[in-house]
Amino acid sequence: MSNRVVQEPTLLLLTALADAPRHGYAIMQEVQMISQGRVKMRTGTLYGALDRLLGQGLIEVHEEAVVDGRARRTYALTKGGRAVLAEEAERLAATAREAVRRLNLGGVTA
């Protein structure tokens, strides 16, 4: 019953991976760009969300390299993640449309 599928920061994360695989830092920058600088995703949110999404099978590790003894992972959307993102995007768009419709109904002639 619960909606709690994905929240906005998470949705932006998925969106950031929609066109190409990216690594963590790049995702943060991409999220900022997508949201026109409004949402600055923190690392705490990022890596927490990545773990969660990996567990949910919405994203996967695309490539894993070790650079200077540090893991460098790039993540990619899975088919499931792609489907979820498409669904959520449609749902969001529908909600937004409904909000606008109602604002116009009750707004002017209230």
List interacting residues with a copy of itself (CB under 8 A). Answer: 1-3, 7-9, 11-12, 14-15, 18-20, 34-36, 38-40, 82, 85-86, 88-100, 102-103, 105-107, 110
Query: Coil, strand, or helix at residue 51?
Result: helix
Q: Which of DNA, a copy of itself, none does 58 bind, CB closer than 5 to 8 A by kind?
A: none
Alpha-carbon distance 26 to 46, whole Å?
11
Name the minimum Å distance from CB 68 to a copy of itself. 29
With 0-12 / 13-18 / 19 or more C-beta atoms within 10 angstroms meaning exposed / middle / buried, residue 35 is: middle
Query: Coil, strand, or helix at residue 62?
Result: strand
**Between 18 and 69, CB nearer to a copy of itself:** 18
